[in-house]
Amino acid sequence: MSNSQMIGKTIAGSLCFGILASFNASLGPASAAAPIIAEAAAPAASNLDQQLLGQWQVTVASGQSFTFVFAPEGKLFLMAKDPDGAARAQEMRYKVNVGEKPMHLDVRLSSTETVETVFELTPEGQMRLQLQGPGQARPNSLNDRATVFKKVSEATALPADTEVIGF
């Protein structure tokens, strides 16, 4: 992989999380109203893997939607549509630690950059994710600024016309 490809991938990955993290502030009351499950038991790893697989979407105040696609073998895609309607997805990797409270989600943007965050699955079928930018310490808990994703599909494949920015 050339240096320009690596730089492009790193920038794209950082921007994806930076963009989503910046939307936490603009989500406002909708995220504050999300239920907090302080003492919920962590699901078993295999059950959690099945629950995570699929497409999770958040729509921000501007109307822009972002979708996390959790795929088998620890693959994760952050998908969004450009203003012209073209779908693009950043390929990443993920790893979950269900033994922690709240559960840990590590998202590898590249072979050298990982975003460490925490999350929970709610009884309503949503995922609350405390997004942090690359290089920031893992948060200790979820708060009212956690990003709330709704599961919109069980599909783990990207639409055929999606441009993928490789891992």
**CATH for 95:** 2.40.128
What is the residue-averaged pLDDT of the chain? Answer: 79
Selected residue with higher pLDDT from 10 and 146? 146
Among candidates 133, 108, 134, 106, which has minimal Cα distance to 118?
Answer: 106
Q: How far apart are CA 146 and CA 148, in angstroms?
A: 6
**Domain count of the chain?**
1
What pLDDT sits at residue 144?
A: 92
Q: How confident is the model at residue 44 (pLDDT cuts 50, 70, 90)?
A: low
| Domain that includes residue 39, residue range | 3-165
What pLDDT sits at residue 16?
A: 52
Question: Which of 22-31, 54-63, 71-80, 93-102 shows the lowest mean pLDDT across its residues?
Answer: 22-31
pLDDT in tens, 79-138: 998 888 889 999 999 999 999 999 999 999 998 999 999 999 999 999 999 987 888 999
The DSSP symbol for 28 reads T
Coil/strand/helix, residue 70: strand
What pLDDT sits at residue 84?
A: 85
Torsions phi, psi for 100 (to 5 deg): -100, 155
